[in-house]
Amino acid sequence: MPAAGSPLSTERRRFLTETARAAGACAIAGSALAYLARDARALPAEALRPPGALPEDQFTSACIRCGLCVRDCPYDTLELADLGADGPATGTPFFTARNVPCEMCDDIPCVAACPTGALDPGLTNIDDAKMGVAVLVDQENCLNFQGLRCDVCYRVCPVIDEAISLEPLHNTRSGHHALFIPTVHADRCTGCGMCEKSCVLPEAAIKVLPARLARAEAADHYRKGWEEKDANGAPLVDGLIDLPDRLPGPGTDNLAAPGGFEPVFQLPEVAQ
């Protein structure tokens, strides 16, 4: 109903006002949604993604939350996050290793079921999966660290002796036994969670963590002298005198070792 005399300007004003209102409301609602969407990208540490899941920032753009991976998981490992009840973004698939670990099916049905590729179909060998990395988080309570032969995490590991090995270590408490230390080799660990599930303690001493929490990252500029030397086939600096290494044990100039003797060269006393 344009006002008489200036129909165009009234209509234009109304159009502009309404557009501004709608755009304003849209911006407010959009900001709230953006906040929620960003927030939903923070995945809790105990929630593990299915095998082959894309990196988390890509995963939330690729997973349509259809639940087909959950349906095709023969062990009911996977579940969809419930609104407000579970940590991961609502409707996305995850599993909790301590509840039901991944059984690492050879045919990887969850990946085959994914219609979008959020679970990467490039994963054809389940041993290459990287759902997380097992970390022995509590050495003080781990039974093997106390000299007992629990070994359960090692025994249940589907990639036994490659992803987890037992490394003997001197038992200083008894003086004549060995500790068999469960040692995770991250490059072979799939993060299936069998070890965490099977840990006999009331709260697991070994836990599967997302790689971002479990792994350090070596700086690009670090060079290891012994590797560089091997690659070079010769010392990297010409004319270096290779002095004998000071080793513990009898016959060396180390007083701390049994049979050690006083070093010939004494450091000069520093005036206090």
Partner 1 sequence: MSKQHALVGQEAIEVKGWVGAHRFLLLRRASQFGFLLLFLLGPWFGIWIVKGTLAGSMTLDVLPLTDPLVLLQSLVAGYWPSLTALLGGGIVLATYALIGGRMYCSWVCPINPVTDAANWLHRKLGLPKGWQPKRNTRLWMLAGILIVSGITGTIAWEVVNPVTMLHRGLLFGMGFTWALVIAIFLLDTFVSRHGWCGHLCPVGAFYGAIGSKSLMRVSASARSACDDCMDCYAVCPENQVISPALKGKPGSSQLILAPDCTNCGRCIDVCAQDVFHFTHRFDERVAEPSDKTLAPESQTA
Q: Which residues bind partner 1 (CB under 8 A)?
A: 18, 22-23, 25-27, 29-30, 33-34, 36-38, 40-41, 57-58, 60-68, 70-72, 79-86, 89-91, 113-117, 121
List 134's β-bridge partners, or say none.
208
Say how far apart CA 11 and CA 91 lie, in whole Å.
45
Which residue lies nearer to partner 1 by CB, 1 or 218? 1
Say how far apart CA 251 and CA 238 lie, in whole Å.
31
Report in angstroms how near the CB of residue 28 gets to partner 1 at its nearest. Answer: 10
Report in angstroms how near the CB of residue 22 gets to partner 1 at its nearest. Answer: 5
**What angle (nearest 5°) sits at the alpha carbon of residue 151, between those of residues 149 and 153?**
155
Q: Are 113 and 97 in contact (CB under 8 A)?
A: no
Residue 224 Cα distances to 12, 179, 217, 228, 266, angstroms: 72, 30, 15, 6, 32
51: left (phi over 0), alpha (psi -120 to 50) or beta: beta
Which residue lies nearer to partner 1 by CB, 66 or 169? 66
Report in angstroms how near the CB of residue 49 gets to partner 1 at its nearest. Answer: 15
User: What's the distance, Cα to Cα, between the start and end of the chain in Å?
Assistant: 98
Which residue lies nearer to partner 1 by CB, 27 or 200? 27
Report in angstroms how near the CB of residue 112 gets to partner 1 at its nearest. Answer: 10
Report in angstroms how near the CB of residue 1 gets to partner 1 at its nearest. Answer: 16
Q: Helix, strand, or coil here: 215?
A: coil
Report in angstroms how near the CB of residue 65 gets to partner 1 at its nearest. Answer: 5
Find the helix or strand (DSSP H, E) in which 220 lies.
none
Which residue lies nearer to partner 1 by CB, 115 or 168? 115
Strands (E), 22-176: 79-80, 93-94, 133-136, 164-171
Say how far apart CA 116 and CA 268 lie, in whole Å.
72
**Amino acid identity, position 191:** G
Which residue lies nearer to partner 1 by CB, 12 or 246? 12
**Amino acid identity, position 109:** P
Report in angstroms how near the CB of residue 17 gets to partner 1 at its nearest. Answer: 12
